[in-house]
Amino acid sequence: MRTVRALSPLLRRAGGRDARITTALACTAFAVVTALALSVVGGLLAFQGRAAEPVANGEPVFGYLYVSLAWTALALLVVPLVTLGGAAARLGVSRRDARLSALRLLGVTPREVVGLTLVETAWQGLVGAVAGCLLYVLLIPFWTLFVFQDRPFTPGELWVGPLVLLAALVVVPLLAAGSGAVSLRQVVVSPLGVSRRVRAPGLRAVRVLVAGVLVLGFIVVSVAMRSFGAVAIGVLLGSFGTAFLALNAIGPWVLRLFGRRRLRTARTPEQLLAARRLLDDPKAAWRVVGGLGLAGFVAGALAVVPALAAAQAERDATAEIIGRDLTTGGLLTLTLTFVVAAVSAGITQAASVLDRRREYALQHLAGLPTELLDRVRRREVLGPLLLVSVGSAALAIVMLSPLFGFLALTSMTGPVLLVGCLALGCGLVLAATEASRPLLRSVLAETVVRAD
C-alpha cells in the first residue's frame, strides 16, 4: 500500500497529451453520469413529495402511480449510466497500460498495479462527480420547464439535498474504481507489456431460451390479466423489467450471430474489419448499443400511449393528464437514455482507438487509408445499432399486443413518434462516435510509433 500511496500522485501528473485527452473524456463521462443520475433522483423525490402532500385533484389517487413510474425511469437509466461509468473507467485504464507494465518491470507487484489504477480511476470519478454536481445544479432550471400533473416542477421540488450530493461524491468514485477493476481483468499487465486477453469466452444458446421463457411468460400473464383493464399500467411496468432481462440475455448472443453472418458475407476490407471487431467481443458491442435497445423498447411501448391516452381522454380529464404525462415522462426517459448511450458509444470508440493506436499507426504507415478506418467505425456501430433499436421496438409492440392489440398502429402519432425517436437516437449515437475522429487523426499522424 505504501507503494500505491507514493506512486499515485506521480502517475496522476505523468503522461502526455493522450493522457490528458483520456482523463478529460473520462471525467466528462463521470460528470454526465452524476448530473443525469442526480436529475432523475431529483424527479423521483419531486413525485414523492407531491404524493405525500397532494394539492390538486386526482393527485392523492395517482400520486403513487407517478412515484412508481419515476422508479421505473430510474431503473431504466441505471444500466446505461453504469455502463457509461464502466466505459469511462476502461478508457482511463487503456492509456495507463504502458506505464503500468513499466512499473511491473521495476518490481511493482500485480496487486499494487491494480491498486494504483483504482486510485487513479477513483480520482477521475471524484473530479467527474464534483463537476456533475455543478452540472446538476445548472440543469435544474431546465427541468422546471417540464409540466407533470398539470403543473411545472419547482426548483425546490427537484433539489436532492446535501446528503444525496455527498452520497454521489462517494458512490461515483467507488463505481469508477469498481469498473476499473473489472476492466483490468481483461488485460494482462506483465513486465514486458500489456496484452489484451484474446477471444472473449463464447456465448451459450441458453440465453435465447431464458429470453424466450421471459417473453412468453409475460405474454401469458398479460393475456390472463386482460380482463382487468386497471392493471394495464402495472403490466406495462412489469413489461419493462421483463424486456430488460430478456434483451440483456439475448442481446450479445444475437449480436454474435449477426457478426458471424456479416463475417461470412464480408467482401470488402471494411466489412471484414467491422464484422471481426463485432465478433471479437459481442458483449462489449452490446454494452454500447444495449442502452439503446432498452430505449427502443421504451419507444415501442410508448407508441401505444397516444392511442391509449386518446381513448381514455374521452372519459375523464385525469386520464387525459396521466396520458399526457406518460408521453412526456417516456420521451424524457428515452432522450436521456439516448444521450447516455451516445456518450457511452463515443467514449468506447475513443478507448478503442487508443487501444489499437500502434496497430493503426503502423497500418497507416504501410498505406492503409484513413477513410477505411472511418468507414469501419461507422459500419461497426450502425449495424448493431439498427438491429438493436428496431428489434427491441418490434419486441415491445409484439409483447404488448395481447394487452392493447396493435393499438399502437391505429393512431399515426405513436408510430411517427417511434420512428422519429429511433432515427434521432441512432443519429445521436453515430454523431458521438464521430467525435473520436480527431483522436484517430492524431494517432495516425504519428510517424514515430512508440513501443507501447
Partner 1 sequence: MTTTPLAGPDRLTARGLVKRFGETVALAGVDVSLAPGESLSVMGPSGSGKSTLLHCLAGILQPDAGDVVLQPADGSPLDLGSLGERRRSLVRRQHLGFVFQFGQLLSELTALENVALPSMLLGASRDDAELTASGWLGRLGLDGMGDRRPGELSGGQAQRVAVARALVTRPAVVFADEPTGALDQATGYEVMRLLTETTRAAGASLVVVTHDADVAAWCERRITVRDGLVVDEARRADGTAGAATVPAGAVPGVAADGLDGWAGAR
Binding to partner 1 by CB under 8 A, coded x per residue (else -) over 327-356, reads -----------------------------x
Task: Give Rg (Cα) of the chain.
Answer: 23
Please report whether residue 191 would count as binding partner 1 according to CB under 8 A: no
Please report whether residue 202 would count as binding partner 1 according to CB under 8 A: no
What's the CA gap between 89 and 187, in Å, rounded?
A: 14
Please report whether residue 201 would count as binding partner 1 according to CB under 8 A: no
Chain positions 363 to 382 lying near partner 1, rule: CB under 8 A, are 363-369, 372
Please report whether residue 227 would count as binding partner 1 according to CB under 8 A: no
Q: Which is nearer to partner 1, 226 or 283 (CB)?
A: 283
Please report whether residue 98 would count as binding partner 1 according to CB under 8 A: no
CB 297 within 8 A of CB 393: yes
Pairing label, strands 147-148, 151-152? antiparallel
What's the CA gap between 279 and 384, in Å, rounded?
A: 11
Q: Which of 150, 280, 374, 434 binds partner 1 (CB under 8 A)?
A: 280
Q: Which of 2, 17, 199, 315 binds partner 1 (CB under 8 A)?
A: 199
Q: Which of 137, 200, 245, 272 binds partner 1 (CB under 8 A)?
A: 272
CB 247 within 8 A of CB 293: yes
Q: Which is nearer to partner 1, 96 or 357 (CB)?
A: 357
User: Per-residue DSSP letters for 365-432?
Assistant: HTT--HHHHHHHHHHHHHHHHHHHHHHHHHHHHHHHHHHHTTGGGTSSHHHHHHHHHHHHHHHHHHHH
Q: Which is nearer to partner 1, 167 or 266 (CB)?
A: 266
What's the CA gap between 176 and 248, in Å, rounded?
A: 22
Q: What minimum distance in Å lies between the beta carbon of 362 and partner 1?
A: 4
Please report whether residue 267 would count as binding partner 1 according to CB under 8 A: yes
Q: Which is nearer to partner 1, 197 or 204 (CB)?
A: 197
Question: Residue 189: what are its φ and ψ, rounded to 5°?
Answer: -95, 105
Region of 4-12, 134-142, 264-272, 297-305 interacting with partner 1 (CB under 8 A): 264-272
Please report whether residue 276 would count as binding partner 1 according to CB under 8 A: yes
Region of 38-46, 102-110, 128-136, 262-270 interacting with partner 1 (CB under 8 A): 262-270
CB 79 within 8 A of CB 336: no
Region of 211-219, 270-278, 297-305, 396-404 interacting with partner 1 (CB under 8 A): 270-278
The dihedral built from the CA positions of residue 135, 136, 139 and 140, taken in this order, carries a sign that is negative
What's the CA gap between 254 and 414, in Å, rounded?
A: 27
Q: Which is nearer to partner 1, 4 or 184 (CB)?
A: 184
- Residues near 352 by beta carbon (within 8 Å), at least 6 away in sequence: 436
Residues engaged in binding partner 1 (CB under 8 A) = 195-199, 266-269, 272-273, 276-277, 280, 356, 358-359, 362-369, 372, 447-449, 451
